[in-house]
Amino acid sequence: MGVLVDGKWQDKWYDTKSTGGAFKREESSFRNWVTADGSAGPTGEGGFKAESGRYHLYVSFACPWAHRTLIFRKLKQLEDHIDISVVHPDMLEKGWTFSTDFPGATGDRQFGLDYLHEVYIKAVPDVNGRATVPVLWDKQTGQIVSNESSEIIRMFNTAFNEVTGNTDDYWPEDLREAIEPVNDRIYNTVNNGVYKAGFATTQEAYEKPVHELFESLDWLEERLSENRYLMGDKITEADWRLFPTLIRFDPVYHLHFKCNRRRVIDYPNLWAYTRELYQWPGVSDTVVFDHFVRHYHYSHDTINPNRIIPINPVLDYDEPHGRGD
Final residue in a domain of this structure, among 164, 197, 224? 164
Q: Which CATH number covers residue 55?
A: 3.40.30.10
Q: What mean pLDDT do residues 257-285 have?
A: 98
**155 and 196 assigned to the same domain:** no
pLDDT for residue 253 is more than 60: yes
Q: What is the reported pLDDT for 264?
A: 98
Tens digits of residue pLDDT in 291-308: 999 999 999 999 999 999
Report the 3 state secondary structure along 170-221.
CCCHHHHHHHHHHHHHHHHHHHCHHHHHHCCCCHHHHHHHHHHHHHHHHHHH
Range of the domain at 134: 3-164
Q: What whole-number distance in Å separates Cα of residue 210 and Cα of residue 146?
A: 30
Q: At what angle do helices 237-248 and 64-75 cross, to 10 degrees?
A: 130
Catalytic residue list contains 259: no
Q: Please give the tally of structural domains in the chain.
A: 2
Q: What is the pTM of this model?
A: 0.95
Residues 69 and 59: beta-carbon distance below 8 Å: yes
DSSP 136: E
Considering the candidates 187, 195, 298, 317, report the single residue annotated as catalytic: 195
Considering the candidates 14, 55, 58, 63, report the single residue annotated as catalytic: 63
More confidently predicted of 139 and 42: 139
Catalytic residue list contains 63: yes
Identity of the amino acid at 278: Y
| Cα angle 284-287-291, degrees, rounded to a multiple of 5 | 155
**146 and 268 assigned to the same domain:** no
| Cβ contacts of 188 within 8 Å, gap of 6 or more | 212
Q: What is the reported pLDDT for 35?
A: 95
pLDDT for residue 47 is more than 90: no
Residue 324 included in any domain: no
